[in-house]
Amino acid sequence: MHRSQIHPAIRACLYALLALGAFVMLLPLAWMLLTSLKTFPEILRSPPAWLPAHPQWENYRTVWNGFAYYRFFLNSTFVAVMVIAGTVLTCCPAAYAFSFYDVRHKELLFGALLSTLMLPAQVTVIPLFKAFAALHWINTYLPLIVPAWLGGNVFGIFLLRQFFRTIPKSFIEAARIDGASEWTILWRLIVPMSLPAVLTVVIFTFLWSWNDLFNPLVYLHDESTYTLPVGLLYFIARAEQLTGGSAGLVPWHLVMTLATVMVLPIIVVFAFAQRRFVEGVAASGVKG
Amino acid sequence: MNARRAQLLWFWLFAGPAVLGFACFSLWPMLYSLWLSFCRYEVVAPPAFIGLRNYSYLLKSDPAFWPSIKVTLFFTAVQMPLSILGALGVALLLNQPVRGRGFWRSVYFLPSILPQAASAAVFVYIFQADGGLLNRVLGLVGIAGPAWNTSPTWALPVLVIVSLWSFGYPMVIFLSGLQSVPRELYEAAHIDGAGAWARFRHVTLPLISPVLFFNIVMGIIGALKVFDLAYAYGAAQGLEPGGPARATLFYGLNLYQQAFTYFHMGLASAMAWLLFAVIMAITWLNFRLGRRWVHYGD
Amino acid sequence: MNLRHREPLLWSAIVALAVAGFWWAGRAPAPEPADGRKVITWISFITPLRDYYEAEVAAFERAHPNVHVRIIWAPQSEYHMKFKTLAAAGQAPDLFYSGDVWLRYLMPFMRDLTPLVKRDDAEIGLDDYFPPIRAAMQQDGRYYVLPETTNVALLYYNRRLFAEAGLAEPNEAWTWTDLVRAGQKLTHTERDGQPGVWGCSRVEGWWGEWLIYVRQAGGKVFSPDGKRCTLDSPEAVAGLKFFAEKSSRYGISAPAGFEPLNGFVNQRVAMIVGGHTNYWPNYNQVPALDWDVQILPAGPASRRGGELAIAGYAMSKTARYPEETWQLLKFLTRRETVAEVVARGGIAVRRSVAEAHLRNLRPSDRPRHMAAVYHQMDFADPIPRDAHFIELMLKIVQAEIDRMILGELTPEEAGRRAAAAANAFLATFGSSDS
Per-position pLDDT tens, chain B of length 298: 577 888 889 999 999 999 999 999 989 998 998 999 999 988 777 889 999 999 999 999 899 999 999 999 999 999 999 999 999 999 888 888 888 877 888 788 778 777 776 677 778 878 877 767 788 788 888 888 888 888 888 999 999 999 988 887 788 778 878 877 777 777 787 778 777 788 888 888 888 888 888 788 878 888 887 887 887 787 767 677 887 888 899 998 898 888 878 888 899 989 988 888 887 788 788 778 877 777 765 4
Portions of chain C given CATH number 3.40.190.10: 38-150+309-359, 154-304+386-432
Domain C38-150+309-359 in this protein, CATH class: alpha beta
Does the beta carbon of C193 lie under 8 angstroms from any beta carbon of chain A? no
> Between residues A32 and C352, which one has the greater pLDDT?
C352
Q: Which CATH class is domain C154-304+386-432?
A: alpha beta
Backbone angles phi, psi at B136, to 5 degrees: -70, -40
Give the per-residue pLDDT at C432. Answer: 44
Judged by CB atoms closer than 8 Å, whether chains meet at B22 and A113 is answered as yes
Contact status of C386 with chain B (Cβ, < 8 Å): no
Contact list in A for residue C193 (CB cut-off 8 A) is none
Instruction: Determine whether the interchain pair A152/B21 forms a contact, defined as Cβ–Cβ distance below 8 Å.
Output: yes
d(CA B171, CA B113): 13
Q: How far is C413 from chain B, CA to nearest CA, in Å?
A: 14
C3/A189 touch (CB, cutoff 8 Å), yes or no? yes
Q: DSSP for C93-141?
A: -SEEEEEHHHHHHHGGGB---HHHHHHTHHHH-GGGB-HHHHHHTEETT
- In Å, how far are A56, C199, C206 from A53, measured between CA atoms? 9, 31, 36
B121 CB neighbours in chain A (<8 A) are 252, 255-256, 259
Angstrom CA distances, C318 to A161, A171, C117, stand at 50, 63, 18
Touching chains, C (3+ CB pairs < 8 A): A, B
Task: Report CA-CA distances (Å) from C350 to B220, C102, C148, C261.
Answer: 57, 21, 9, 35
d(Cα A190, Cα B292) in Å, to the nearest integer? 28
A127 and C CB contact within 8 Å: no
As a whole number of angstroms, the distance between CA B187 and CA C64 comes to 83
Domains and their CATH numbers in chain A: 3-56 (no CATH), 62-284 (1.10.3720.10)
Mean pLDDT of A158-177: 86
Of B18, B225, B275, the CB nearest to A90: B18
- Give residue B264's pLDDT: 87
Name which of A117, B135, B43 is nearest C89 in CA terms. B43
C85/B147 Cβ within 8 A: no
3-state secondary structure of C67: strand
**Yes or no, beta carbons of C21 and A145 under 8 Å apart:** yes
**Dist. CA C382–CA C387, nearest whole Å:** 14
Tell me the chain B residues in contact with residue A270 when contact means C-beta distances shorter than 8 Å: 106, 109-110, 113
Question: Which of A1, A167, A255 minimises the CB distance to B121?
Answer: A255
Q: For C257, which of B131, B151, B263 is closest by C-beta distance? A: B151
Residues in C closer than 8 angstroms to A85, CB to CB, are 14, 17-18, 21
Tell me what pLDDT residue A276 has.
55
Task: Verify whether the Cβ–Cβ distance B63 to C84 is below 8 Å.
Answer: no
- pLDDT by residue, tens only, chain C of 434 residues: 455 555 788 888 888 998 988 888 887 655 566 677 888 999 988 776 778 899 999 999 999 999 999 888 887 767 877 887 788 767 789 999 888 778 888 888 899 999 999 999 999 999 999 999 999 999 889 999 999 999 999 999 999 999 999 999 999 999 999 999 999 999 998 777 677 899 999 988 889 899 999 999 999 999 988 889 999 999 999 999 999 999 999 999 998 888 877 788 888 899 999 988 888 877 887 888 999 999 999 999 998 889 998 989 999 999 999 999 999 999 999 999 999 888 888 899 999 999 998 998 888 888 999 999 999 999 998 888 888 888 899 889 999 999 999 899 999 999 999 999 999 999 888 754 43
So what's the ipTM on this one? 0.77
CA distance to partner chain A, nearest, from residue C139 (Å):
28
pLDDT band at A280, cuts 50/70/90?
very low
B217–chain A nearest CA distance, Å: 10
Radius of gyration of chain C (CA): 26
Instruction: Give the span between the Cα atoms of C294 and C155, in whole angstroms.
Output: 5
Of A79-88, A268-277, B245-254, the least confident: A268-277
pTM of the model: 0.82
Q: Which of C93, C1, C101, C81 is nearest to C43 (CA)?
A: C93
Per-state percent for chain B, helix, strand, coil, to nearest 5: 70, 0, 25
Nearest chain C residue to B40 by CA distance is C429
Beta bridge partners of C222: C229
Q: In whole angstroms, give the CA distance from residue B218 to residue B221.
A: 5
pLDDT in tens, A131-153: 888 888 888 899 999 999 998 88
Distances in Å between the Cα of C28 and the Cα atoms of A79, A142, A231, C33, C434 are 15, 10, 19, 12, 38
Q: What is the C-alpha separation between B169 and B21, in angstroms, rounded?
A: 25
> Contact C197/C213 with Cβ under 8 angstroms?
no
Partners of A175 on chain B (C-beta within 8 Å) are none
Which range scores top for mean pLDDT: A78-82, A205-209, C204-208? A78-82
**Which residues 49-88 in chain A show a CB within 8 A of chain B?**
none
**Contact: A138, C89; criterion CB under 8 Å:** yes
Spell out a b/e string for C296-332, using b for 16 or more CB atoms within 10 Å of the CB, else e.
Answer: bbbbeeebbbbbbbbbbbbbbeebeebebbbbbbbbb
Q: Sort out which chain B residues have CB atoms less than 8 A from A233's CB and list them.
A: 117
Q: Which A positions 254-283 lie with beta carbon below 8 A of chain C?
A: none
The residue of B55, B58, B239, B269 whose CB has the most chain C CBs within 10 angstroms, and thus the best one to mutate to test that interface, is B239
3-state SS assignment for residue C238? helix
Asked if the Cβ–Cβ distance from A89 to C76 is below 8 Å, we say no
Q: What is the rounded CA–CA span in Å between residue C155 and residue C306? A: 10
Name the CATH superfamily for B53-293. MetI-like (1.10.3720.10)
A17 touches chain B (CB under 8 A): yes
Q: Give me the total of CB pairs closer than 8 Å, taking one residue from chain B and one from chain C.
A: 97
Binary contact (B45, C206; C-beta < 8 A): no
C46, A237 in Cβ contact below 8 A? yes
Q: Where are the domains of chain B?
A: 53-293
Q: Do A126 and C88 touch (CB under 8 A)?
A: yes
CA-based nearest residue in chain B for residue C387? B262
Q: Quick one: pLDDT at residue C222?
A: 92
